Structure formats: structure tokens, C-alpha cells
């Protein structure tokens, strides 16, 4: 048996374990420093830009210098591999930077009003010169509106996806799938106008002595319209990823189709389904236009989602961002931080629940 055929315990044959010439890391670092220096000399010497152009040209010079040096030391094949690996790492860094910037901005500016008064009071009787006032009414509205919308959208969306994957055949299923795709791209203002024209102006007068009425429930209906296509499409894709042999094995044992879906297919696809649901919840929690159109917004606390105006965190951020008070921006940033934290907590809780209940 040759040396190449012998298996070494704990060692996997990967490119990192193959002995070959490697470009030393001090040389790589030196190329980066020289590239930035040359880029700064060019940009500031010619007066054609600022530090952003310095970084862009520095990256281009670094890639060219690294490829040339790696080609002489490692060969062109390894140099190309190193070049693409650097580009991939750079793309990952560029994708993370905006997210990190958003998080840092929210935390740094939103921490100013993280106090008991913000979470325990509303904007009722708060004037432009009052430093107090909070978002308790908006938090209550967001939880009620998104909660009711989730209770309506999740069963409809999951059942619709089950129909499309397990039962849907022919033109009707194609029609349903087509309209789901169309609804995915509708603006939120359209959903709000639809609920305004249908529920607020036509249906609600039946329950209010002929007078149209804004309500948090109307906002929940609008959010349901926005959540449904996301839940249907994501659940459909997750159900299609369930291996066919799992279904066939259950059918071979005489298990009915409905029980196979309930006991085998859904638990297998549950983590992906929960991810799609939380994406829909996050979108619904951040919508402003539907709430403004059909719930009206309110400065006072309203615990009844079926009667009276109601606010939400997204609407509260919008209103405070446009307020002339010098205390309003701090409230807006803290409300935005609260909204992101609320969605994060709900996502983590849903993930933990899905991990606990999934099919092992």
C-alpha cells in the first residue's frame, strides 16, 4: 500500500492538508498595506475623491498584487482559488456591514429613552414641550394587530400550501398559485385601501349603527392580506423539500394521506415553515400605511381591537419622526429599537418551539 492510500486517523484529505508552496501571510499583509498606500497617494495626490475611493482602489490594487504574487509562489491555479476566496469573503463582509451599521445606529440612538416611562405610558396629553410620553399604546396595538393577523394568516396559508403540494392538480391549482404570486408583490397601501373600502366603509357600519369605524381588527385584516402570500409560498417550498420516500413509507404502512401530512410531512418541514411565518410576521409588524388607513392611530391606550382607533409601533415611529418636538426623535429611535427587539424575541421563541416539536 502506497503512502497516498494509507488513511491517517482524524485527517481529512482537503486542499489545506496537501503540502505545497503557500504565500506567507506577512507578504499578503505587506501587499495590502502597499495597495492602500498607493491608492491614497493616487486619490489624494490627484484630488479626485475621499477615503471611500481610497478603499475601493486599494482593494483593486490588493487583488491585482495578491494574484501576481500568488501566481509566482503557488501557481496560477492556486492563485485563482485565492482570488475567488478573497472575493467571496469580501462579499460576505459587505453584506454584514449594512446590518451591523443598522444595529449599531438603533442601539446607540435608541438607548436614550429606554426607561420605565417609555414602556409604561402613552402619548395622551403629551405636548410638544413635554419630555415624557411613551409607546405603551403602540406596543399594545402592535401585539394585538400582529397577533390577530397571525391567527388568521397562518392556518389559511399553511392549509393553502398543503393543498397546492399534496392535493392541487389541474387549472385550479395553477390559478391559485398564480394569484398567490401576484399578491406577493402588491404594495401595502393597496391592502390598506382594500380593507378600507370593504371592511371599514361597508361592513363596520352594520355593527356601529350605520357609522364607519376604524379599529385594530381592520388593521389585522390588512396585515393578513400581506402575510398570506409569504406564508403560502414559503410553506409550499418547504413541503416540496420533504423527501418522497417518507410519504411512500407511510403509505406502505397503510397510513392515510391526511395523517401522513400531519404526522410526517409537517414535522419534517416545520423549521422552514416557521422561518417563513416569522418573515411574514416581521413584515406585518413593520407596516405603517395599512394601520394609518384603517386603524387611524391614537395617542391614548386602547385595549379593544374591535372598537376605536389604535396605534402601532411602526405608525408611532412614523409620527414621531415627523413631529416638530425636540423630544420626538428620541422616542422614534427607541420605538424602532423596541420593534426590532420584539421581532427578534418572537423569532427566537418560534425557532426554539419548532426545534422542540420537529420530527427527529
Confidence of residue 75 (pLDDT cuts 50, 70, 90): confident
Report the sign of the C-alpha dihedral through residues 54, 59, 60, 66, in that order. Answer: positive
Query: Tens digit of pLDDT for each residue in 121-149?
Result: 999 988 888 888 899 999 999 999 999 99
Whether residues 52 and 130 fall in one domain: no
The model carries a pTM of: 0.81
**Cβ contact 238:276 at 8 Å:** yes
266 pLDDT more than 80: yes
Q: Tell me what pLDDT residue 104 has.
A: 93
Residues 150 and 217 in one domain: yes
Percent of the chain with pLDDT over 70: 93
Q: Are residues 106 and 236 in the same domain?
A: no
pLDDT, tens digit, 9 for 90 and up, residues 28-50? 899 999 999 999 999 998 888 88
The residues that bridge with 310 in the sheet, in sequence order, are 296
Q: Determine the Cα–Cα distance for residues 191 and 183; give it in Å rounded to an integer.
A: 10
Q: Is residue 360 part of a domain?
A: no
Confidence of residue 228 (pLDDT cuts 50, 70, 90): very high
Contact 292, 319 (CB under 8 A): no
Report how far residue 172's alpha carbon sits from residue 163's, in angstroms, rounded to the nearest whole number.
Answer: 11
- For residue 54, is pLDDT > 50? yes
Domain boundary among 92, 111, 130: 111
pLDDT score, position 13: 56
- Decide if pLDDT at 177 tops 80: yes
Average pLDDT across the chain, whole number: 88
Calculate what percentage of the chain has a pLDDT beyond 90.
57
Region 187-213: mean pLDDT is 91
**Full residue range of the structural domain in which residue 66 is found:** 3-111
What's the chain's Rg over C-alpha atoms?
A: 28
Residue 302, C-beta contacts closer than 8 angstroms, at least 6 positions apart: 137, 140, 141, 216, 308, 309, 310, 311
Q: Are residues 63 and 129 in the same domain?
A: no
- Local confidence band at 2 (pLDDT 50, 70, 90 cut-offs): very low
Rounded average pLDDT over 256-280 = 91
Please say which residue of 79, 111, 143 terminates a domain. Answer: 111
Query: Span 110-118, mean pLDDT?
Result: 89
Q: Which of 215, 199, 217, 203 is nearest to 149 (CA)?
A: 217
Give the mean model confidence (pLDDT) for residues 81-97: 92
Q: Do 207 and 254 have their domain in common?
A: yes
Using an 8 Å Cβ cutoff, are 289 and 223 in contact? no
Q: Is 358 among the domain residues? A: no
pLDDT greater than 90 at residue 357: no
Same domain, 208 and 277: yes
| 173 and 299 part of one domain | yes
What pLDDT is stored for residue 4 in this prediction?
45
Is 58 within a domain? yes
In a domain, 359, yes or no: no
Neighbours of 184 (CB within 10 A): 13
pLDDT given at position 57:
92
Distance, CA of 282 to chain centre: 6
Domain end marker among 111, 128, 152: 111
Retrieve residue 358's grid coordinates. 420537529
Cell of 319: 409620527
Q: What is the pLDDT of residue 129?
A: 86
Q: What is the pLDDT of residues 318-330, one digit of tens each?
A: 999 988 889 999 9
Amino acid at each position: 500500500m502506497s503512502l497516498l492510500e494509507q488513511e491517517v486517523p482524524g485527517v481529512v484529505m482537503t486542499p489545506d492538508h496537501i503540502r505545497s508552496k503557500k504565500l506567507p501571510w506577512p507578504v499578503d499583509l505587506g501587499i495590502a498595506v502597499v495597495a492602500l498606500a498607493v491608492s491614497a497617494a493616487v486619490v489624494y495626490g490627484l484630488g479626485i475623491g475621499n477615503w471611500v475611493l481610497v478603499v475601493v482602489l486599494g482593494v483593486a490594487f490588493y487583488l491585482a498584487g495578491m494574484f501576481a504574487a500568488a501566481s509566482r509562489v503557488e501557481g496560477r491555479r492556486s492563485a485563482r482559488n485565492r482570488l475567488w476566496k478573497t472575493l467571496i469573503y469580501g462579499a460576505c463582509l459587505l453584506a454584514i456591514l449594512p446590518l451591523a451599521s443598522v444595529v449599531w445606529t438603533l442601539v446607540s440612538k435608541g438607548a436614550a429613552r429606554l426607561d420605565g416611562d417609555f414602556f409604561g405610558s402613552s402619548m395622551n396629553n403629551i405636548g410638544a414641550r413635554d419630555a415624557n410620553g411613551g409607546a405603551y399604546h403602540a406596543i399594545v396595538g402592535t401585539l394585538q394587530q400582529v397577533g390577530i393577523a397571525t391567527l388568521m394568516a397562518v392556518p389559511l396559508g399553511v392549509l393553502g400550501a398543503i393543498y397546492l403540494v399534496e392535493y392541487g392538480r389541474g387549472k385550479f391549482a395553477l390559478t391559485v398559485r398564480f394569484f398567490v404570486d401576484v399578491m406577493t408583490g402588491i404594495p401595502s397601501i393597496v391592502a390598506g385601501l382594500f380593507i378600507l373600502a370593504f371592511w371599514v366603509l361597508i361592513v363596520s357600519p352594520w355593527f356601529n349603527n350605520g357609522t364607519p369605524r376604524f379599529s385594530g381588527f381592520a388593521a389585522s385584516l390588512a396585515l393578513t392580506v400581506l402575510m398570506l402570500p409569504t406564508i403560502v409560498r414559503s410553506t409550499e417550498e418547504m413541503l416540496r423539500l420533504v423527501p418522497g420516500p417518507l410519504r411512500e413509507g407511510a403509505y406502505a404502512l397503510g397510513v392515510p394521506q391526511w395523517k401522513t401530512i400531519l404526522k410526517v410531512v409537517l414535522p419534517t418541514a416545520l423549521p422552514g415553515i416557521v422561518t417563513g411565518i416569522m418573515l411574514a410576521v416581521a413584515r406585518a409588524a413593520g407596516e405603517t400605511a395599512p394601520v394609518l388607513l384603517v386603524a387611524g392611530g391614537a395617542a391614548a391606550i386602547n385595549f379593544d381591537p374591535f372598537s376605536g382607533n389604535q396605534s402601532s409601533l411602526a405608525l408611532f415611529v412614523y409620527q414621531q419622526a415627523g413631529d416638530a418636538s425636540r423630544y420626538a426623535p428620541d422616542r422614534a429611535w427607541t420605538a424602532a429599537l423596541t420593534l426590532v427587539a420584539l421581532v427578534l424575541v418572537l423569532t427566537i421563541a418560534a425557532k426554539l418551539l419548532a426545534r422542540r416539536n420537529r420530527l427527529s
